[in-house]
Amino acid sequence: MAEALKVGIAGLGTVGTSVIRILREKASDLACQCGRPIKIVAVSARDKGRNRGIDLSDVKWFDSPVDMAASNEIDVFIELIGGELNVVYEAVKKALEVGHHVVTANKALLARHGVEFAVTAEKKGIFLHFEAAIGGGIPIIKAMRESLVANRISRIYGILNGTCNYILTRMFTEGLSFKDCLADAQKLGYAEANPTFDIGGHDTAHKLALLTSLAFGTAVSLDDVYVEGISNISQIDICAADELGYRIKLLGVALETDSGIEQRVHPTMVPTSSMIAQIHGVTNALSIQSDLLGELLFSGPGAGGAATASAVIGDLADIAKARPGFQYAPVLRSPALGLSPHKKARISQHAGGYFIRLNVHDRAGVFAAVARHMADNHISLESIVQRSFIESQIIKTIILITHETTEVNVRQALAAIEKDGHLVAKSQFIRIEPMA
Amino acid sequence: MAEALKVGIAGLGTVGTSVIRILREKASDLACQCGRPIKIVAVSARDKGRNRGIDLSDVKWFDSPVDMAASNEIDVFIELIGGELNVVYEAVKKALEVGHHVVTANKALLARHGVEFAVTAEKKGIFLHFEAAIGGGIPIIKAMRESLVANRISRIYGILNGTCNYILTRMFTEGLSFKDCLADAQKLGYAEANPTFDIGGHDTAHKLALLTSLAFGTAVSLDDVYVEGISNISQIDICAADELGYRIKLLGVALETDSGIEQRVHPTMVPTSSMIAQIHGVTNALSIQSDLLGELLFSGPGAGGAATASAVIGDLADIAKARPGFQYAPVLRSPALGLSPHKKARISQHAGGYFIRLNVHDRAGVFAAVARHMADNHISLESIVQRSFIESQIIKTIILITHETTEVNVRQALAAIEKDGHLVAKSQFIRIEPMA
């Protein structure tokens, strides 16, 4: 058997300790599958004294991840610190520069610096793998990078944040408010104390920006992602959606349009009968549409120590098997120097159906005014529901489902309705995503 | 750019011609992703004169696939002839012996000779890839072989034959008989003129035998697969299942039990709310359950020229990227020489719930007799439905859903009921697969 692959791990949280535990428990099986042992030889974390329930006596401790990245005692640098702190950036950069393979779960870092890192990795002929960064244990990246090489991808969409899907699932199944669900998610450890990153859609945006690059061969462009979170989704929206045959999911969507690539993260209406509507709780899912395959769908655990460790070790195994020579390994499907510039399609040009909710004063002429503004903006309606979701004699809720129109039309119509003074509260609109 | 990967294709049916067409249409994009061109240099098929709509003037023609396999003009031998004819076996064997990488879509061949071929491929340090053999364009094999290395898999189940799923879907949605659906499937080209291989469950069994080896690290053992087809599924079964919250799917299931590995292919009751129940038409799907991931599900196109070609080209790309050295590449996840012997769990020991349908004479005491035989065989019942599905005063249909029991108990109970002379027709039973 060939000599061991020597690994250094930076970051010893849930994922890092899971990786170490699993590599040890399954050492002989993994060595058999990879043709050589995988050995943790070094670690780096903030607090050396902390008891993590794993024996670190036979591994070298580095106070600085950058020093570990530079060390010639490792073959692979695993980055599990997370976030965009400068030290994380420096450590990954250093590891690549000295020619160590890198495995990371850090979508935030890659969404900002992925292309720069990919250029270095490809120049050096080494691996920069990041399966754990998106979809937890679901092997999405490998599929897009390696299995789908012959496909021209036209659209991807997915549930990429377990926290949001958990909250939306409980709001639907139990009729709870957003606030109560969020509080519960925090109690159960599914949401952070500061949940903005998840519920604001930013975590999904990071992942989507990377998937977009993999799908379309374009440079990663996080700043071009349109982002809306789920905090303004109400029980009224969820109930009305259900009545009309829809579920509300926070989706990341990227697709090619005539004016460029749309990257959007927002609450989305999906047909109740669609596969994506059946993804419950913290589960993640990704749908890929392409010329050769029609639709491909993956679902599985999007987070958690074990699932994320599964992805990290899958990446390590690729590196362990690739010997004695290196393989040619584009990081983002297409070689980093050949990525085309990202051409953004503006959200105002987005074309699709819309769910619109208006809370209006119950007085004569309101409905006619609403209908007129829709017509003035060339919006034709598929369904109209007028209902008293709120117990009140003087407030009515109007729900509209539009046929395909553009975002600019919808926004103009709503501005005009608002100007008329008929609205009791801010209008709500949610984009409808068509399914294959 | 490195020199071209030289490919020979044996078999120029729908898949073979699709592979050639796509490799040509997307040549520059693929070369960019793989770091070198992929070039078709040789082909072999039965009829040289046939017009296939592709230009073969610049490729070398071989009348014999074995001669092409032996030729030093190719790097990769792609086998798309299919079936178990001796010439196919000889060609693949020859290609591996002379050190050519092999890509094949031939599940029948691999289910019989996969381990033997894997031993040769691994000894030579070459690739034997077969993504297209199972699940068409869904990258199942790569996920199991490469991404899930750290997982201990406990169960896999899937819809692996599009023909059967198409027929069962139409029987459900349109209320048609099995015979009518089969005739339609044949008209539309979804079923062969001789459909036994598909609807008898044998195609699924070939695929399952390979998946079992990938999942459990055991030698491929096709003869140990228990196989039942779908031809005895009636509208009554489908309607009764629907009423009770189930759909009927032809599943391939493999799982570890205390007495060995169960491999089964049979019509299966799955809960209507499960993901697998939402897989319609010719779509395939596979669920993998493991210690680290819980459940992972893939769905996508299981057949067709384009989808299968997508998988073949994905395999080719792996080979094109692996340079200048070869990588260590176990064919079946674990090295072929280290596969453990397959230990079969007998179907009679299968434990689970059962759907049982009895068509009985409508006379006093029948129901009591049925109930007594169930009790005598330690079978407890979850639901009992008595219904006149057949328009008749003298025949009643009794539907039973059992709690977990064993197959031997069910068979004994049904034999006893039959012996009593109460049955008008042969009893029907369908296994229920529990979902995570």
Written as one string, the DSSP assignment of A348-410 is: GG-EEEEEEEEEEE--TTHHHHHHHHHHHTT--EEEEEEE--SS-SSEEEEEEEE-SEEHHHH
Mind listing the pLDDT tens digit of every residue in chain A (436 residues)? 789 999 999 999 999 999 999 999 999 999 999 999 999 999 999 999 899 999 999 999 999 999 999 999 999 999 999 998 999 999 999 999 999 999 999 999 999 999 999 999 999 989 999 999 999 999 999 999 999 999 999 999 999 999 999 999 999 999 999 999 999 999 988 888 889 999 999 999 999 999 999 999 999 999 999 999 999 999 999 999 999 999 999 999 999 999 999 999 999 999 999 999 999 999 999 999 999 999 999 999 998 999 999 999 999 999 999 865 567 789 998 999 999 999 999 999 999 999 999 999 888 889 899 999 999 999 999 999 887 666 666 788 999 999 999 999 999 999 999 999 989 999 999 999 998 7
Whether residues B148 and A310 touch (CB distance < 8 A) is answered with: yes
Cross-strand bridge partners of residue A99: none
- Distance, in Å, from the CA atom of B29 to the CA atom of A233, rounded to the nearest integer, reads 42
Q: How many CB atoms lie within 10 A of CB B65?
A: 29
Q: Retrieve residue B77's tokens.
A: 């031998």
Q: Which residues of B touch A334 (CB under 8 A)?
A: 32-33
Token pair listed for B165: 């799923």
- DSSP 3-state of A264: strand
Q: Cα-flanking dihedrals φ and ψ of residue A11, to 5°? A: 105, 115
For the annotated binding site of B for L-homoserine, the residues are 192
Cα A228 to Cα A84, B385, B404: the distances in Å are 22, 50, 47
> Taking the CB of residue A324, how many other CB atoms lie within 10 A of it?
10
Calpha distance A362→A269 (Å, rounded): 27
CB contact under 8 A, B143 and A148: no
Which whole-number Å values give the CA distances from B388 to B359, B363, B422, in the listed order?
9, 13, 16
Measured CA to CA, the distance from residue A383 to residue B178 in angstroms comes to 38
Report CB contact under 8 Å: B292, A278.
Answer: no
Residue A378, C-beta contacts closer than 8 angstroms, at least 6 positions apart: A405, A409
State whether the Cα torsion B175-B178-B182-B185 is positive or negative: positive
User: Cα–Cα distance between B63 and B40 in angstroms, integer?
Assistant: 16
Structure tokens at A149: 């090489």
B335 and A275 in contact by Cβ < 8 A?
no
**Nearest residue, CB atoms, B300 vs list A30, A297, A329:** A297
Question: How open is the CA angle A378-A382-A388, to the nearest 5 degrees?
Answer: 110
- Among B138, B291, B297, B308, most A C-beta atoms within 10 A, so best to mutate, is B297
Tokens (6 digits) for B51: 């017009």
Asked if B295 has any chain A CB less than 8 Å from its own CB, the reply is yes
Per this entry, what is the length of chain A? 436
Q: How far apart are CA B412 and CA A373, in angstroms?
A: 72
CB A283 within 8 A of CB A185: no
Query: Which pLDDT score, from 0 to 100, does residue B433 have?
Result: 97
> What's the angle, vertex CA B235, arms to CA B230 and CA B239, rounded to 5?
115
CA distance A266 to chain B (A): 24
Contact B151 A301 (CB under 8 A): no
What distance in Å separates the CA atoms of residue B219 and residue A66, rounded to the nearest whole number?
Answer: 45
Name the residue among B130, B188, B139 with its Cα closest to residue B163. Answer: B188
What are the start-end ranges of the E strands in B160-259?
226-227, 246-257
CB proximity under 8 Å: B 361-420 to A: none
Q: Are A399 and A387 in contact (CB under 8 A)?
A: yes
Residue numbers in chain B where pLDDT is lower than 50: none
A293 touches chain B (CB under 8 A): yes
pLDDT at B389: 62
Residue indicated by tokens 């039959």: B418
Answer for the pair A374, A413: CB distance below 8 angstroms, yes or no.
yes
3-state secondary structure of B232: coil
Query: What pLDDT, on the 0 to 100 scale, is given for residue B207?
Result: 98
Q: A412 vs chain B: nearest CA distance in angstroms?
A: 39
Measured CA to CA, the distance from residue A412 to residue A105 in angstroms comes to 41
Contact B81, B88 (CB under 8 A): yes
**B386 φ, ψ to 5°?**
-115, 130
ipTM strictly over 0.90? yes
Nearest CB to B328 within list A295, A313, A323: A323
The tally of CA atoms less than 13 A away on the side-chain side of residue A369 is 18
Give the pTM. 0.96
- Considering only CA atoms, which of B96, B53, B56, B52 is closest in space to residue B74? B96
Q: Please answer yes or no on whether B292 and A307 come within 8 Å at the CB atom.
A: yes
User: So what's the pLDDT on residue A154?
Assistant: 98
A359/A364 Cα distance (integer angstroms): 14
| Residue A205 DSSP class | H
Report DSSP letters for B341-369, one per residue.
PP-BPPGGG-EEEEEEEEEEE--TTHHHH
Element (H, E) at A3: none
Least CB-CB distance to B278: which of A149, A275, A293? A275
Number of CB pairs, chain A paired with chain B, less than 8 A apart: 188
Q: How far is CA A310 from the centre of its chain?
A: 18
Structure tokens at B259: 């007495």
Nearest C-alpha in A relative to B38: A150
Secondary structure (H, E, C), B234-292: CHHHHHHHHHCCEEEEEEEEEEEECCEEEEEEEEEEEECCCCHHHCCCCEEEEEEEECC
Report the gap between the CA of B42 and the closest CA in chain A (Å): 20
In angstroms, the Cα distances linking A390 to A233, A363, A365, A421, A427 are 15, 16, 20, 19, 15
Whether chain B has a CB inside 8 Å of the CB on A435: the answer is: no
Contact A314 B275 (CB under 8 A): no
Of the listed A207, A343, A396, A419, which one is catalytic? A207
User: B-chain residues within 8 Å CB-CB of A138?
Assistant: 296
Which token pair is B54?
């592709």
For chain A, report the end-to-end CA distance as a whole number of angstroms: 48
| CA atoms in the 13 A half-sphere facing the CB of A409 | 21
| CA–CA gap between residue B351 and residue B378 (Å, rounded) | 13
* Secondary structure element (H or E) that encloses residue A429, with its range: strand A428-432
Tell me the helices (H) and strands (E) count for chain B, helix number first: 14, 17
B34 vs A328: CB contact, 8 Å cut-off? yes
CA angle at B235 for the pair B234 and B236, rounded to the nearest 5°:
85
> How many C-beta neighbours within 10 Å does residue B175 have?
11
Q: Give the residue from A64, A3, A71 showing the smallest Cα distance to A39.
A: A3
**Torsion angle in degrees (nearest 10) through CA of B69, B71, B74, B75:** 70
A135 Cβ under 8 Å from any chain B Cβ: no
Chain A interface includes B70 (CB < 8 A): no
The verdict on B296 touching A (C-beta cutoff 8 Å) is yes
Does any CB of chain B come closer than 8 Å to the CB of residue A337? no
- Number of residues written out for chain B: 436
